[in-house]
Amino acid sequence: LVFSVLFACGLASVGEKAQPVLDIVSTVQQALFWIIRKVMRIAPAAAFGAIGYTVSEYGLGTLLSLGRLVAVFYLIVVLFFVLVLWPVSRYAGVSLLKLMRYFRAELVLVLGTSSSESVFPQLTAKLKNLGVDEPVVGLVLPTAYSFNHDGTCLYFAAVSVFLGQATGTDLSWTAQLGLLLVLLLTSKGGAGVSGSAIAVLALTLSATHTIPVSSIALVLGVHSILSAAFVFTNVAGNCVATLVVGKWEKAIDRERLRTQLDAGYQAA
Asked if the structure places residue 24 within a domain, the reply is no
> For residue 172, how many C-alpha atoms fall within 13 Å in the half-sphere facing its CB?
2
CATH classification of the domain holding 230: 1.10.3860.10
Asked if the structure places residue 99 within a domain, the reply is yes
Asked if the structure places residue 101 within a domain, the reply is yes
Query: Is residue 226 a contact partner of residue 95, using CB atoms and an 8 Å limit?
Result: no
Asked if the structure places residue 208 within a domain, the reply is yes
Asked if the structure places residue 126 within a domain, the reply is yes
Asked if the structure places residue 190 within a domain, the reply is yes
Asked if the structure places residue 85 within a domain, the reply is yes
Residue-level pLDDT, tens digit, the chain, 268 residues? 678 788 888 988 988 888 999 889 888 878 876 776 676 677 667 767 767 776 777 677 667 888 888 999 999 999 999 999 999 999 988 999 999 999 988 888 888 777 777 788 888 889 998 899 988 998 888 888 888 888 888 888 888 888 888 788 777 778 778 777 887 777 776 655 556 677 778 877 777 777 888 778 778 777 878 888 888 998 999 999 999 999 999 989 889 888 888 887 665 5
Asked if the structure places residue 75 within a domain, the reply is yes
pTM for this predicted structure: 0.75
Domain count, the chain: 1
**Segments forming the whole domain that contains residue 150:** 42-263
